[in-house]
Structure formats: C-alpha cells, structure tokens
C-alpha cells in the first residue's frame, strides 16, 4: 500500500470547495450514478440531511453536497424542506436527477439554514468543479484545525476520501463527515463493518452527534480481493487523523484490550477506557494513572478477574507493566518524563480470560477542549 498526495483527485471524481466565513460547501460529483453505501448517526435526534440521505443512497449517488457551519438539526419541517431545496438546486445546476444527490451538514444545532447563501455557493461550486479535493476537505471543516484528505493505493485499486471531525467524536461518530470513493467494487455491508472497527472506536468526548455521515461510493468495477481489509486500514488512518485534530487534543492514545471473554466485552472495555475523562485528563497531565484505566474496565460491563488482569503503558517504544494482579513498583518520575516527551501513548490491557480483542483511539482532555466548547455557539 502506498499513500498518494491529492486525496480524491486520484480518482475519477470532480470536486469543489467554497467557503464564506464559517459557512462552507463541498461538492463531489461523479460521471454517472454510482453504487453507494452509508453509515449514519444512530442518534434519534437525527438532522434533516441525515433523514434524507439515508433514504436516497438506496438509489445510487451521482453527487454529494456537504455544508458546514449549520447542522440543520432540530429544525422541524422547515429543516427538511431546506435540505430538499439544496439537493434540488444542486441537481438542477448539475443536470442530474435530484434523487441521486446525497446531502450532509455539520455545525450548530437548532438554527435554520441560510439557503440563499448555500444556493449561491452551489452555483459557484458547480462552475469551479475539477480536481479540488483539498478545497472540498477545507470547506467541510468546523472546529477542525486542518483539512483531512487521504488516498491509499493498494495496487489493483485505490481508496480516497475527505473527512472532518473534531468535537463530539464518539462511538458512533459524532459530528463526523467522511466521504470515501474507490474504483473497486464492494460488497454490501463492508462499510458498516469497517466503521465499527475504526471510526466507532474513536472518542474525543462522550457525545454523539446528530449529523454523522460516512458515505462510500464506487466509481469503478474492479473486482478485487481484500477490499474489506483495505477499507479498514484506510479508515483506521482517518480515525487517527480525526483524533490527532480533536478539539484540544495534544496526545493520541491508542488502546488495545486483549484476553477478554469475547469480542463484545473487549470492545466495551476499550470504549470505557477511551471515554474516561479521568484517563484523558491524566494523559494531559503526563500521569500514567493506570488505576483509572482499571476502574474504567471495571465499570465497562466486561467480565474481569482482578488477579489475572495486566495493564501496560507503551511510551516511546517502551512497554511498561504497571499492574499485574496488583500494583507494580515502577519509576514514576521516569514514566512521567517519557510521557512528557511523547505525543503518542499506548495503553494495553490483558484481561487474561479469553481471546476477545479490540482497539480504540482517544486523546487527552485539555483546557483547550473546555475553552472551545464553552464558547462554541
């Protein structure tokens, strides 16, 4: 596998990105109606564009219209009409069928869209369609500090995409948009499975967005082996990009739980560690506070045997055993020094009960997180 510069520009798609202050618009347009699969927020307070796109992708997709700055959520009937009018406008400008236009939005909840601005942006975007992957990635940013685009070349086929994340990144992908295109054929269900192993194991805070949308579109018909695994690798990389640019995140925490009774319990334990505010703040403070990790595993619902459990912290290439049925004697200051010097921390927990394994990704919780979310409105 090779990583290529240029994101979506490596595949046969046209893109555009427009931004007016905090209001951005991204367009991704395909030559024909393409097979698509989607994974959406499971939040019952789902935004208007989610409600609409969830139905539309069944028809196949010829264009994706994504807007940032306003989530168009909790906006009732008018929100649905606004979302439909955007899709309609894009279809008209592109000369395609409205039912093949997917829409997605991200931003503040509970305000009505400025549809006249968005319609102007659509006109402008359609005129500038071309190889603009990075502009499109920029257009969907909210509190993200950098655009996220990625292309992986697996030899026989490529997977490329743009994404935005930042706050509310939680199990089930809060305020995450991710649009993935490949020239390979894919089987139904492949996206759901890959998302469950990657994006759904990411936690910045504990909130789940109303707008999460991940779309996978095929622009080719290459029959290939190993697409599912390739997609998982691709989304794991995206997950890392989202965490690294999470609100106020300075350190990436990679969590691995092994030895759980089964996979479900491993996932529950990994999630609990990833979500723990006390673990996050201890990482921010360069504290290898493994007791908080143990406590999180203890309330995760996973079966544990305190005497069989082991906890390691992996820092700067060193793997330090901190708990082995009981607390270990360790060089606390040495570990604190190591944590200060490294911006990636690995936490490994072996429950010693079975062969259930899972991974999750998290970050530290900093003053900056509080600042961003106290003022965002």
| Contact flag: residue 271 with a second copy (CB under 8 A) | no
| Contact flag: residue 273 with a second copy (CB under 8 A) | no
Q: Which is nearer to a second copy, 1 or 112 (CB)?
A: 112
Q: Which is nearer to a second copy, 24 or 248 (CB)?
A: 248
| Contact flag: residue 112 with a second copy (CB under 8 A) | yes
| Contact flag: residue 284 with a second copy (CB under 8 A) | yes
Residue numbers 195-224 binding a second copy by CB under 8 A:
205-210
| Contact flag: residue 113 with a second copy (CB under 8 A) | no
**Contact window for a second copy (CB under 8 A) among 6-14, 19-27, 254-262, 295-303:** 295-303
**Is 175 annotated as catalytic?**
yes
Task: Build a one-symbol-per-residue string for 224-263: x at contacts with a second copy by CB under 8 A, - elsewhere.
Answer: ----------------------------------------
| Contact flag: residue 285 with a second copy (CB under 8 A) | yes
Count of residues touching a second copy (by CB under 8 A): 67
Q: Which is nearer to a second copy, 59 or 206 (CB)?
A: 206
Taking the complex as a whole, how short is the minimal distance between the CB of residue 353 and a second copy, in angstroms?
12
Q: With 0-12 CB in 10 A as exposed, 13-18 as middle and 19+ as buried, what is 326?
A: exposed
**Contact window for a second copy (CB under 8 A) among 23-31, 54-62, 143-151, 368-376:** 368-376
Q: Which of 67, 175, 198, 213 is catalytic?
A: 175
Residue numbers 26-85 binding a second copy by CB under 8 A:
42-46, 71, 73-79
Could you say which of 136, 294, 338, 353 contacts a second copy (CB under 8 A)?
A: 294
Q: Which is nearer to a second copy, 205 or 245 (CB)?
A: 205
SS (H, E, C) the chain: CEEECCHHHHCCCEEEEEEECCEEEEEEEEEEEECEEEEECCCCCCCHHHHHHHHHHHHCEEEEEEEEEECCCCCHHHHHHHHHHHHHHHHHHHCCCHHHEEEEEEEECCCCCCHHHHHHHHHHHHHCCECCHHHHHHHCCCCCCCCEEEEEECCCCEEEEEEECCCCCCCCCCCCEEEEEEEECCCCCHHHHHHHHCHHHEECCCCCCCCCEEEEEEEEEECCCCHHHHHHHHHHHHHHHHHHCCCCCCCEEEEEEEEECCHHHHHHHHHHHHHCHHHHHHHHCCCCCHHHHHHHHHHCCCCCCCCCCEEEEEECCEEEEEEECCECCCCHHHHHHHHHHCCEEEEEEECCCCCEEEEEEEECCCHHHHHHHHHCC
Could you say which of 297, 315, 338, 348 contacts a second copy (CB under 8 A)?
A: 297
**Contact window for a second copy (CB under 8 A) among 55-63, 140-148, 271-279, 340-348:** 271-279
> Catalytic residue numbers?
175
């Amino acid at each position: 596998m090779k990583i290529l510069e240029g994101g979506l520009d490596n595949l046969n798609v046209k893109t555009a990105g427009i931004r007016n202050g905090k209001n951005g618009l991204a367009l991704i347009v395909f030559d024909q109606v393409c097979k698509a699969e989607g994974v959406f927020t499971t939040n019952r307070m789902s935004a208007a564009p989610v409600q609409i796109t969830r139905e539309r992708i069944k028809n196949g997709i010829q264009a994706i219209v994504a807007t940032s700055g306003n989530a168009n959520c909790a906006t009732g009937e008018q929100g649905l009409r606004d979302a439909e009018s955007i899709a309609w406008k894009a279809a008209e400008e592109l000369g395609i069928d409205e039912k093949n236009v997917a829409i997605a939005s991200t931003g503040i909840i509970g305000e009505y869209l400025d549809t006249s601005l968005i319609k102007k942006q659509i006109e402008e975007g359609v005129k500038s369609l071309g190889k603009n992957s990075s502009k499109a990635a920029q257009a969907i940013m909210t509190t993200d500090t950098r655009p996220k685009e990625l292309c992986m070349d697996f030899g026989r086929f490529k997977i490329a995409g743009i994404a935005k994340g930042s706050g509310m990144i939680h199990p089930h992908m809060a305020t995450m948009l991710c649009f993935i295109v490949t020239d390979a054929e894919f089987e139904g269900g492949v996206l759901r499975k890959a998302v469950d192993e990657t994006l759904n194991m990411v936690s910045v805070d504990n909130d789940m967005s109303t707008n999460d949308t991940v779309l996978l579109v095929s622009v080719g018909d290459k029959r290939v082996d190993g697409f599912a695994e390739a997609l998982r690798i691709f989304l794991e990389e995206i997950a890392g990009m989202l965490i690294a640019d999470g609100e106020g995140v300075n350190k990436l925490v990679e969590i691995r739980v092994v030895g759980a009774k089964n996979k479900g319990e491993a996932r529950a334990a990994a999630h609990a560690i990833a979500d723990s505010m006390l673990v996050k703040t201890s990482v921010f403070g360069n504290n290898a506070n493994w007791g908080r990790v143990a406590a999180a595993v203890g309330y995760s619902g996973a079966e544990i045997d305190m005497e069989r459990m082991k906890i390691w912290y992996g820092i700067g290439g060193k793997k330090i055993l901190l708990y082995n049925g009981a607390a270990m004697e360790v060089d606390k200051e040495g570990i604190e020094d190591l944590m200060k010097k490294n911006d990636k921390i690995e936490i490994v927990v072996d429950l010693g009960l079975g062969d259930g394994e899972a991974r999750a990704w998290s970050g530290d919780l900093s003053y900056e997180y509080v600042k961003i979310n106290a003022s965002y409105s």
